[in-house]
A and B are shown apart, each in its own frame.
Chain A
């Protein structure tokens, strides 16, 4: 995980994947199963066939 959680913005590596070449429009979205703030796991698959998902990514800073 070194490099991913850089300590200051100046250490941000240019090793990020090319945004437009992953998870392309028309392709299956990468699966995830992540905990919410109460510790409950939420997976993309749990919405399959039921709901469209708007997935926003963000941090505080």
Chain B
């Protein structure tokens, strides 16, 4: 067994706190001999199963996008992007790169916001952050 991937560690921290983590398996970013480009749903599903074995991410559900990449495209088609969608279905955070530490931070921030709402604390912070990484 390999070490626990950073995102799985964050997942373990938040799974009991109203967060659902999901991985969407997309096209192969660098297709080659071992992992070729996808030509059928069955082939894509079989590759997604290999991803589970290879990455030891067996705790986070893996979803398989369609062969044409409809969901991947709707979200911007980058190979390692990540989103946090709040329970109202709104994009709370997006990044062109999955950084587990940063996801930890944005999840914690959303929990604080939930706690403020629960206590009817007036929320005056309603801006958008941008960060170079």
Contacts of B26 in A (CB 8 A): 57-59
Please give the distance in Å from A46's CB to the nearest CB on chain B: 9
Q: Does B116 count as interface, using CB distance less than 8 angstroms? A: no
The chain B residue sitting closest to A40, CB to CB, is: B61
Q: Secondary structure of the A side of the interface?
A: loop
Q: Is the CB of B25 within 8 A of A29?
A: no
Q: Is the CB of A52 within 8 A of B83?
A: no
B residues sitting closer than 8 Å to A (CB atoms) are 7, 11, 14, 18-32, 35-39, 45, 47-52, 54, 60-69, 71-94, 96, 98, 103, 107, 110, 128
A residues sitting closer than 8 Å to B (CB atoms) are 1, 4-9, 16-20, 22-30, 32, 34-37, 42, 44-45, 47-61
